[in-house]
Amino acid sequence: MNRFEGRTALITGAGSGIGAATARRLAAEGAHVLVTDVDEDAARAVAAGLPQATPLRLDITDRASVERLIGGLPALHALVNNAFLPFADDPDENWRRQLDGTLLGAVHCSRAALPHLAATAGAIVTIGSVNAEADFGDHAYSAAKAALGSFTRTLAGEAAPLGVRVNQINPGTVDTPSWAGRETALADLGARAYPLGRVGTPEDIAAAVAFLASADAAWITGTTLRVDGGLLAVNRHFREILGDG
Ligand SMILES: NC(=O)c1ccc[n+]([C@@H]2O[C@H](COP(=O)([O-])OP(=O)(O)OC[C@H]3O[C@@H](n4cnc5c(N)ncnc54)[C@H](O)[C@@H]3O)[C@@H](O)[C@H]2O)c1
């Protein structure tokens, strides 16, 4: 498939995990990928392995830099809001980080990208989380991800007359460096919590991003797609109690 031939895609937090897999996937489908990350070395390392990629330092919490970098691009066909703001130990600081970072960061990037995307009939894909839909701990992160879902729907309404589509993916647990040091927990979750018997790979999410950002999703906007191995839809605990699982 070459769904992104001649197209430019910008991915935030693309130096690791889901963002890096998305960069690889979109590049494999022909995109010129702007591999952005607050960690410039990580962005460089990912871009180095791709045929058409430009590594760029971008801190999504810095509105002025976001507007300068995205606003100054010659063209843009797809924006992937993916960066993951690590949790802070202090509860207040964690709330600020998740609301200012996770939520407002995606808002800054989306606003800055919209004029470009209006010119190219482009698309925004934002990475949320199953935490937006049910209790999996960390209220600040979960609230920020839930608010992103609302932003996705509202922006979809604003952007539709411009021909721009805006969608969100809510992943379940995905084996990325953000889980480093918790390999046993990941294996247990895969075996015991996930109906499909494993946690996700970054490539599982990248495939869904590529679909929603491509013309294959031309009539899809304002949607949240769960990519979670059946986690939220299937009640394994209930089935086990009934001896049905
Ligand atoms: N891994 C999971 O289990 C999981 C589950 C659900 C949702 N998600 C979501 O998927 C996305 C990617 O997560 P991941 O696990 O691949 O993360 P990761 O930790 O592997 O990568 C995140 C990247 O974001 C970058 N980053 C951090 N702060 C930034 C900032 N201010 N500006 C720009 N970049 C910044 C980091 O440098 C890093 O390269 C996140 O939005 C996360 O909330 C992950």
Residue 194 maps to a domain: no
* Residue 163 and residue 118 in contact, taking contact as beta carbons nearer than 8 Å: yes
Please list the active-site residues: 141, 145
Rg of the Cα atoms in the chain: 18
Residue 192 maps to a domain: no
Residue 26 maps to a domain: yes
User: Mind listing the pLDDT tens digit for each residue in 107-128?
Assistant: 999 999 999 999 999 999 999 9
CATH value at residue 140: 3.40.50.720
User: Residue 245 pLDDT more than 90?
Assistant: no
Distances (CA, A) of 108 to 29, 36, 69, 111, 243: 27, 14, 11, 5, 49
| DSSP assignments along 84-111, one per residue | --PPPSSHHHHHHHIIIIIIHHHHHHHH
CA distance linking residue 241 with residue 176, whole number of Å: 32
Q: Which atom of ligand 1 is nearest to the CA of 43?
A: 39
Helix (H, G, I), strand (E, B) or coil at 174: strand
Residue 70 maps to a domain: yes
Residue from 18, 152, 183 to probe ligand 1 pocket by mutation (most atoms less than 8 Å from CB)? 18
Ligand 1 centroid – CA 114 distance (Å) = 22
Ligand 1 centroid – CA 81 distance (Å) = 10
User: Residue 44 pLDDT more than 90?
Assistant: yes
The pLDDT mean for the chain works out to: 97
Tokens at 228, concatenated:
């979670």
Residue 195 maps to a domain: no
Ligand 1 centroid – CA 122 distance (Å) = 23
User: Residue 244 pLDDT more than 90?
Assistant: no
User: Mind listing the pLDDT tens digit for each residue in 67-110?
Assistant: 999 999 999 999 999 999 999 999 999 999 999 999 999 999 99
Range of the domain at 164: 8-179+201-232
- Nearest alpha carbon to residue 43 among 63, 81, 16: 16
Q: Which atom of ligand 1 is nearest to the CA of 145?
A: 43
Whether this model's pTM surpasses 0.85 = yes
Residue 87 maps to a domain: yes
Domains in the chain, number = 1
